[in-house]
């Protein structure tokens, strides 16, 4: 079955530290990949997405993600985090198989940035 794994459930960083959140998916076909962010008390919003072309995708607020097809990974990165990046981050995959559509979210990574 298709799945999305986020291995880091909780991450604590100091401001200016570099961030990398892991995301691995299990699906052998064509996928679209997304990172969503949920700030405290708010709803999810799109951070960035990949569907084709350059595997290095740049999103809002200085975030980027790299699609590595051979590793089934789509890790999220930011060179220098800020206190305002404290949020929960969700990786998601869409895939179609045998006419069935799936939009699968990972379990989320809760990031806390210390001022």
Rounded to 5°, angle at Cα 17 from 13 and 21: 65
Q: Which is nearer to other proteins, 43 or 115 (CB)?
A: 43
Identify residues 27-46 at the interface with other proteins (CB under 8 A). 32, 34, 36, 42-46
Residue from 99, 89, 112 nearest 7 by CA: 89
Q: Tell me: does residue 9 bind other proteins (CB under 8 A).
A: yes
Residue from 106, 105, 110, 104 nearest 88 by CA: 110
Binding site for other proteins (CB under 8 A): 6, 9, 32, 34, 36, 42-46, 49, 51-52, 90, 92, 94, 101, 103-108
């Amino acid at each position: 079955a298709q799945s999305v794994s986020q291995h880091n459930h909780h991450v604590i960083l100091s401001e200016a530290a570099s961030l990398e959140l892991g995301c691995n998916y299990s699906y052998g076909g064509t996928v679209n990949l997304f990172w969503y962010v949920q700030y405290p008390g708010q709803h999810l919003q799109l951070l960035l997405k990949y569907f084709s072309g350059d595997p290095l995708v740049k999103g809002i607020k200085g975030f980027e993600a790299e699609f590595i097809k051979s590793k089934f990974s789509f890790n999220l990165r930011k060179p220098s985090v800020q206190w305002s990046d404290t949020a929960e981050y969700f990786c998601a995959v869409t895939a179609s198989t045998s006419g069935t559509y799936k939009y699968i979210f990972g379990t989320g990574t809760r990031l806390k940035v210390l001022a």
